[in-house]
Structure 1
Amino acid sequence: MQQPDFDTILRTAVRAAYRGGKILRRHFGNLHHVRKKGAIDLVSEADTSSEAAIIETIRSRHPDHAILAEESGASREEHATFQWIIDPLDGTTNFVHQIPVFAVSIGVSYRGELVVGVVLNPASGELFSAVYGEGAWRNGEPIHVSSTASIQDSLLATGFPYQARRMIDVVVPRFSRCLQAAQGIRRLGAAAIDLCYLACGRFDGFWEQNLKPWDTAAGTVIAREAGARITDFSNHPYTLASDQILVTNGRIHEDLLQLLNIEGI
């Protein structure tokens, strides 16, 4: 891919993330309106206010770019070469319960290729970012995936889909196999943070099902640029349309594929 200058895009994404993060910090522990989009899928005034500030920041600098946002959906700019993919609050359930594991997630695609990713945890102050072909960073310092070479020495992460109660016969066997094989498994409740923790070597592998594009767009750029391998459970290249994602440091990828692929499910 011929690479244009993405520096301006990155600066806008960082500015937008901090604007959204400031709103989230103001609402953290101070929510008044929480509603359900599904049985266990929550949305609050923090989500919508953060999203509005992020979109306003993007529109002020890149009015011709397309936007796909979790709460407001997709814009319809014709012939847009750039698309911004936004989750204004990844980890809403954590946020509502005052658990400080949540993030603003902003990914940007150019001609269909994800090229910029920014993930900010306003509670911890950690800012993860990446640009196509230039590497990934945590608060401005380069990051890389771990060098762990075996499943038994690996700390894994996963998430449970909102449809988990209907998919229990699929989710639990995979979780059980991985739990028996690995050093441990964590379930943080925010896929963007899972992906960034993998990118900086805290986790060695991550898998989940039924995520949306705004859950993974930014985090997969950051993980990829940090050296991660990213596929679906069948080892096909991951795309934002995939309903499965497997991300590892590369060294344990084949072993995790075997654990996740169970005959009959």
Structure 2
Amino acid sequence: MPMTDRDLAITAARAGAAVVRSRYGTSLARVEKGGGDFATAADLEAEQAILDVLRAARPDDTVVGEESGRGGAGTTGRVWLVDPLCGTANYAARGMLVAVNVALRAGTRTVAAACADPFADEVFWTDGTRVCVRHSGVDEPLTPSAGTRLVDVNLDSPDPYDPAFRARRLIADPRFLERFRPRVVSTTLAVAWVAAGRRAAYVTDGDLRDSVHFTSGIALCEAAGCVVTGIDGQPLHTGAGGLVVAADEETHTALLALLDGQPLAAPGR
């Protein structure tokens, strides 16, 4: 029986995660991309492992890899988005906060996605309806919660010195610090953590449409019932772009008010 898209996404993400784990702590050649961005040999090898899995199972689909670009026959209208190592700077500094992202787009919908944590041996996955984390072969449904009060803020946006860069302004706002606790994980694993109840929210600027980094995490959060919008509260991938994903409406409303410089409602009201 052919592998389902969900299982293929999980298998591909796990193949990439195995490479990331095996290369951890070794001497890694760097490939400079410009603007301070770079890839390592682990990024390239992990992406190749993922591509091998996807191309063997779905040779007619398009595959877009962060490092290798667009490839595949492209006759089905389906596109796999592959981020082999999200958190390369963390990894190169021997940090373990990284993710391996694999998502399948069919038209405008993400119909399968997986986000693997190579070092916790967890894979967060969705088939567009169910959303779970798989650990030791067991799937556990994800339930968002704002209980941690931890909000991850992406400071790796294209131009953090731009006056319009609101993520930076957010964490400097004393009202934000009174209500939430900022975190900067520097990997989209933190987006999956919102779906899992390990983060109350995630905020970033930037254009995220068809992003190899963000598509998996966004799909997980949408399937889990999180509140997912652009940075102005607009429909995702429109207007100013960006992302505010929150475990619940109250958290989302509070973050939008802070981002817009508006007064805050009291928690629980």
Letter in 2 for 1:144: T
Q: State the superposition RMSD in angstroms.
A: 2.3
Matched, 1:190 2:187: yes
Percent of paired sites with the same residue:
22
Matched, 1:9 2:8: no
2:47 maps to 51
Residues 76, 12 of structure 1: alpha-carbon distance in 2 compared, 3 angstrom cutoff: closer
Q: Which runs of 5+ in 2 are unaligned?
A: 263-269
What are the within-5 Å matches in structure 2 for residues 1-265 of structure 1? 8-75=4-71, 77-139=73-135, 140-146=139-145, 148=147, 154-167=149-162, 170-171=165-166, 172-177=168-173, 179-191=176-188, 193-210=189-206, 212=208, 213-239=211-237, 243-251=241-249, 252-262=251-261
2:266 maps to none
Residues 160, 255 of structure 1: alpha-carbon distance in 2 compared, 3 angstrom cutoff: same
Letter in 2 for 1:184: R
TM-aligned CA deviation for residue 156 of structure 1: 0.7
TM-aligned CA deviation for residue 67 of structure 1: 1.1
- SS of alignment partner, residue 248 of structure 2: coil
TM-aligned CA deviation for residue 201 of structure 1: 0.5
The question of whether the paired residues in 1 share the 8 Å contact of 2:61 and 2:75 is answered with: no
When normalised by structure 2's length, the TM-score is 0.86
The question of whether the paired residues in 2 share the 8 Å contact of 1:143 and 1:199 is answered with: yes
Q: Provide the rounded CA distance (Å) in 1 between the counterparts of 2:157 and 2:235.
A: 24
Q: Which moved more, 1:176-185 or 1:120-129?
A: 176-185
Q: Size of the alignment, in residue pairs?
A: 253
Q: Provide the rounded CA distance (Å) in 2 between the counterparts of 1:217 and 1:202.
A: 19
Q: Which moved more, 1:97-106 or 1:240-249?
A: 240-249
TM-aligned CA deviation for residue 137 of structure 1: 3.1
Deviation readout 1:8-58 (Å, 9 max, x if unpaired):
111111111121111111211103301321233120010011111101110
Deviation readout 1:191-212 (Å, 9 max, x if unpaired):
2x11111111111111012265
TM-aligned CA deviation for residue 165 of structure 1: 4.3
Letter in 1 for 2:236: Y
Residues 88, 211 of structure 1: alpha-carbon distance in 2 compared, 3 angstrom cutoff: farther
The question of whether the paired residues in 2 share the 8 Å contact of 1:31 and 1:96 is answered with: no
